[in-house]
Amino acid sequence: MQCKVCLHPKKAQIERQIAARDLTMSKAARIVGCHNSTVSRHMRFCVAPHVAEIARQEALEKQTINVIQQLWQSHQTTQHILEYALSEGEPRVALKALEVEIKQLELTAKLTGQLNETPQVNFLLSPEYVQLKQVIIKALELYPEARQRAARALRDVNDESLDQ
């Protein structure tokens, strides 16, 4: 069951005025047609959790670092260091800047989805697949035509995987 204040057509206006201290809870109760404690409970249990969540989200947004933007700035700084090191004849500093640049590029590629580090498994090379092929061919010994078709189909699967 929803509270009486939540059901009131001027709910948002009443909440804003109470929050701004332009309206007392007693006056709000008279407008809504309920008891002061109903308005108090509404502010505590219906409004406060929403306000707290909004405040939490705003705080998170302020704290969140735009990682891509930070990486771009770091990339720019690294480029300046590299250019300076090369112009001043500092090969060690230039190499260090290049090492940092490579790490930055790798991280950027991971974050933007340009680098896929998901392991690639070729099941055709797995011992289980090799054993399965042998079992299938052995099971079809009594059926030479089916055995030849199965062997051809398995070979085609192998050939298709090599083409990719």
**Residue 158 and residue 164: Cα distance in Å, rounded?**
10
Percent of the chain scoring above 90 in pLDDT: 37
Mean pLDDT over each residue of the chain, to the nearest integer? 86
**Residue 124 and residue 138: Cα distance in Å, rounded?**
18
Q: What is the pLDDT of residue 70?
A: 83
**In this predicted model, what pLDDT tens digit does every residue of 137-148 receive, in sequence order?**
999 999 999 999
- Decide if pLDDT at 162 tops 90: no
- Decide if pLDDT at 60 tops 90: no
**Residue 38 and residue 45: Cα distance in Å, rounded?**
10
Give the pTM. Answer: 0.38
